[in-house]
Amino acid sequence: GAVVSQHPSRVICKSGTSVKIECRSLDFQATTMFWYRQFPKQSLMLMATSNEGSKATYEQGVEKDKFLINHASLTLSTLTVTSAHPEDSSFYICTLNPDRSYNEQFFGPGTRLTVL
Amino acid sequence: AQKITQTQPGMFVQEKEAVTLDCTYDTSDPSYGLFWYKQPSSGEMIFLIYQGSYDQQNATEGRYSLNFQKARKSANLVISASQLGDSAMYFCAMREDNNNDMRFGAGTRLTVKP
């Protein structure tokens, strides 16, 4: 069964609105989760590391005020795309490594965001 | 900083033949893990195989094997007896033990021909 869920799986919104994407760990407590973005025909690019109970760590070039991350519990991290624009349209994927076991990395099914 | 390179944007293979997808990496961390994932058009990431930097033997998982050449920093994926369902994007990834995040190569689109 699924270890990581994401909601919604697909969202279409108007330019200027904010969109929240949830990532839930179903089987593990995860102090750390990761958010990736994947543009069409491109690779997964790490956006930020979500840390439970503390601030997220953002990769260079990722606007922290635009992509708000909240990791309020050990099983839930949320990514909010604020004032979304068409260039934010992408596939967003969360992942976690629950206990740093080296050959385990669990991925959510992804959220496809389309901004009109 | 870690870097993953996949130099083959696209590959074609005849059904039932074997195919090798290339991956090279660069890291200064002596301890790391290498991963291969398959991504079909649905977008889900399907784990295929894992190789630890200290593993002495090449990893194998069914039709998948990883040709790990540590000195050359390469971790090529070999798919034997290709099937039509193998057509997808394939990503090589690395996770250093000093970091817990995972970095991906650009990917290779594999097309299996009947």
3-state secondary structure chain A: CCCEEEECCEEEECCCCCEEEEEEECCCCCCEEEEEEECCCCCCEEEEEEECCCCCEECCCCCCCCEEEEEEECCEEEEEECCCCHHHCEEEEEEECCCCCCCCCEECCCEEEEEC
Q: What local confidence, expressed as pLDDT, does residue A99 receive?
A: 67
**Partner-chain contact B103 A100, CB within 8 Å:** no
pLDDT band at A102 (very low <50, low <70, confident <90, very high): low
Q: Could you give the CA distance from residue A26 to residue B100 in angstroms, rounded to a whole number?
A: 20
**Partner-chain contact B45 A46, CB within 8 Å:** no
Work out the average pLDDT over A14-43.
93
| Cα-based distances in Å from B37 to A1, A3, A40 | 18, 17, 17
pLDDT greater than 90 at residue A97: no
B12 touches chain A (CB under 8 A): no
Q: Please give the average pLDDT of every successive group of 10 residues along chain B, which has 114 residues.
A: 90 98 95 95 94 95 97 97 98 89 95 97
Q: What local confidence, expressed as pLDDT, does residue A27 receive?
A: 85
Mean predicted lDDT score pLDDT of chain A = 92
**Partner-chain contact A95 B102, CB within 8 Å:** yes
- Chain B contact set for A42 (CB, 8 A): 106-107
The 8-class DSSP code of residue B86 comes to G
B52 touches chain A (CB under 8 A): yes
Torsion, CA A106, CA A110, CA A87, CA B8, rounded to 10? 60
Q: How many CB pairs under 8 A join A and B?
A: 48
Q: For chain A, which residues lie within 8 Å of any Cβ of chain B, measuring from their own Cβ?
A: 32, 34, 38, 42-46, 49, 91, 93, 95, 97, 100, 102-103, 105, 107, 109-110, 112
Work out the average pLDDT over A11-34.
93
- Chain A contact set for B102 (CB, 8 A): 34, 46, 95, 97, 105
The C-alpha of B69 sits at a distance from chain A's nearest C-alpha, in angstroms, of 19
